[in-house]
């Protein structure tokens, strides 16, 4: 039984390079998934690696270190573009889970109901990946390939989530059967940019209604150019071909399909409202 706690990325990559070790972040998905069983015999704790924690801005955009906790995301002072991500951060599990759980952990766990994924999709996030031989960057939508499945190669580590710095305001809404500690029935994140009373661009993602959270490209293009006050009928009339909700213990598919339209309308309205207050 060993737990490595590297402090440099090189050490982390070399420890992971053997392919046998399991990456550990906050442990908030790894331990519950054991279902009371025995932990992996070799783990690499990535939370102490220099440069993997914190949110920074560089020339081309924003960089969220892979091991940044959701509490750090929730407390960071960020522009309105990130309001949806901030709201999502506060809905991740509980304070306890937000304190330990990491942004990259949420992505690598690849739950269809991951709270962080829709907000990051709506932000056009990419995932930066590193191995001993180099780094690559994948759009988030390509990184997560299915329920509990990602493009992460053996020995590879997520080092950061990259977000382009663009205009717009974000919003996030989560629908569940209780107030706290709840797995979503559905959730929606929207990032909307308004120019001269019209939606210049809308980026909308939905979670828990398809095997992987999905952007609604069809609706986004319908909303582009739409009057900010005229979005609701477009949203409610849209048929959401990107989604494939299922019946489960939380809700029936038909309800999810219908609720999503309501949530999208509200999230877009919220983002438009923030744009108005931001501009004003």
Compute φ and ψ for 190, nearest 5 degrees: -135, 140
Q: Rule CB under 8 A: which of 1-30 touch another protein?
A: 1-7, 24, 26-28, 30
Each residue 118-157 as x (binds another protein by CB under 8 A) or -, in order, gives: ----------------------------------------
Distance CA 155, CA 215 (A): 29
CA torsion 37-41-42-48 (nearest 10°) is 50
The single residue among 210, 258, 273, 278 that binds another protein, judged by CB under 8 A, is: 258
Residues 76-95 contacting another protein, CB under 8 A: 90, 93-95
Residues 38-57, mask of contacts with another protein (x by CB under 8 A)? xxxx-x-x-xx---------
Q: Which is nearer to another protein, 78 or 183 (CB)?
A: 183
Cα 191 to chain centroid, rounded: 13
Phi, psi of 35, rounded to the nearest 5 degrees: 45, 55
Considering only CA atoms, give the Rg of the chain. 19
Binder among 62, 70, 71, 104 for another protein (CB under 8 A): 71
Stretch that binds another protein, among 60-68, 156-164, 174-182, 219-227 (CB under 8 A): 174-182
- Write the CA distances from 42 to 24, 32, 149, 159, integer angstroms: 10, 17, 21, 20
CA distances from 149 to 98, 117, 171 (A): 22, 14, 27
> Should residue 263 be labelled a site residue for another protein when binding is judged by CB under 8 A?
yes
Residue span binding another protein (CB under 8 A) among the ranges 53-61, 115-123, 214-222, 254-262: 254-262
| Residues within window 205-244 making contact with another protein, judged by CB under 8 A | none
Cα torsion 63, 65, 70, 72: sign: negative
- Residue ranges that bind another protein, judged by CB under 8 A: 1-7, 24, 26-28, 30-32, 35-36, 38-41, 43, 45, 47-48, 71, 90, 93-97, 99-100, 175, 177-183, 185, 249-252, 255-256, 258-259, 262-263
């Amino acid at each position: 039984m060993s737990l490595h706690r590297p402090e440099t990325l090189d050490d982390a990559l070399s420890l992971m390079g053997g392919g046998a070790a399991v990456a550990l972040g906050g442990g908030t998905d790894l331990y519950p998934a054991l279902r009371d069983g025995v932990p992996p015999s070799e783990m690499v704790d990535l939370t102490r690696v220099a440069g993997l924690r914190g949110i920074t801005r560089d020339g081309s955009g924003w960089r969220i270190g892979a091991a940044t906790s959701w509490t750090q995301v929730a407390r960071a002072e960020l522009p309105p573009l990130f309001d949806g991500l901030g709201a999502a951060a506060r809905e991740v599990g509980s304070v306890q889970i937000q304190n330990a759980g990491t942004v990259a952990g949420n992505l690598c766990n690849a739950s269809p109901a991951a709270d962080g994924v829709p907000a990051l999709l709506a932000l056009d996030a990419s995932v930066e990946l590193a191995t001993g031989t180099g780094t690559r960057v994948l759009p988030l939508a390509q990184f997560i390939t299915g329920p509990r499945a990602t493009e992460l190669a053996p020995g590879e580590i997520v080092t950061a989530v990259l977000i382009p710095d663009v205009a717009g305001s974000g919003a996030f809404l989560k629908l569940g059967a209780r107030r706290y500690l709840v797995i979503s029935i559905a959730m929606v994140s929207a990032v909307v940019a308004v120019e001269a009373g019209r939606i210049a661009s809308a980026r909308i993602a939905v979670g828990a209604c398809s095997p992987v959270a999905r952007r609604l490209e069809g609706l986004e293009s319908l909303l582009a150019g739409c009057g900010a006050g005229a979005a609701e009928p477009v949203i409610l009339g849209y048929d959401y071909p990107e989604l494939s909700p299922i019946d489960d213990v939380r809700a029936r598919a038909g309800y999810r399909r219908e609720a999503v339209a309501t949530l999208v309308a509200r999230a877009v309205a919220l983002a438009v409202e923030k744009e108005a207050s931001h501009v004003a």
